Amino acid sequence: QKEVEQNSGPLSVPEGAIASLNCTYSDRGSQSFFWYRQYSGKSPELIMSIYSNGDKEDGRFTAQLNKASQYVSLLIRDSQPSDSATYLCAVRLVSGAQKLVFGQGTRLTINP
Amino acid sequence: DTGVSQDPRHKITKRGQNVTFRCDPISEHNRLYWYRQTLGQGPEFLTYFQNEAQLEKSRLLSDRFSAERPKGSFSTLEIQRTEQGDSAMYLCASSVHGGRDEQFFGPGTRLTVL
């Protein structure tokens, strides 16, 4: 089992709809969770961090964390063509360890 | 705040040559990380520094790889005797110890080994 798993997609969503991206992780002791957006040929850009169970909203983005189910998701409301990118889930697996473990990313395409 | 910078942005080299990459973190960020990313995969952790101390190294970091952060500011990553399998994007990130410790990435150095 991979430490952090994402559906690689591609995920295709019509413009204006909600895009839902999912991520599961293996280490129940994980404390910190991050979503990065990566445009083709560019480096990852941090868009959300979440540390506690529940929802965290920032503009059109909502991160959801369920530690009991070892599941973290990202919702993008009112999807725009500019949201088309690969979304990377990253987890700091063990408290005190600093490295991030990334999923392979989900490629999202927003169709006008 | 100018963000994390990396140099060079692109490097093409022949197999067997040595290459060195530089990373300048966000000012006042005392933690610095190196990752490697290949096509279709997420970044993989290589090593991390807190100030000038190298605190964690991945098994991916073979003896051909060495990283330094001599004065706790910029860092260098050297690959000796490059192999075609070293072709990848090398990413540097930095963060501030304490608080949320979010990692911010630089633009990366794309290495192609012929």
pLDDT tens per residue across span B3-13: 999 999 999 99
> Are A105 and B106 an interchain contact pair (Cβ–Cβ within 8 Å)?
no
Of A4, A43, A98, the CB nearest to B91: A43
Q: pLDDT averaged over consecutive 10-residue blocks of chain B (114 residues)?
A: 92 98 94 96 95 90 93 95 97 88 96 98
Residues 6+ apart with CB under 8 A from B99: none
Tell me the chain A residues in contact with residue B50 when contact means C-beta distances shorter than 8 Å.
98
pLDDT in tens, B41-55: 999 999 999 999 999
> Are B41 and A51 an interchain contact pair (Cβ–Cβ within 8 Å)?
no
Q: How far apart are CA A94 and CA A98, in angstroms?
A: 8
Residue A95 has pLDDT above 70, yes or no: no
Interface check for B102 against chain A (CB to CB < 8 A): the answer is yes
pLDDT in tens, A17-72: 999 999 999 988 898 999 999 999 999 999 999 999 999 999 999 999 999 999 99
Mean pLDDT, to the nearest integer, of A101-112? 96
> Are A104 and B104 an interchain contact pair (Cβ–Cβ within 8 Å)?
no
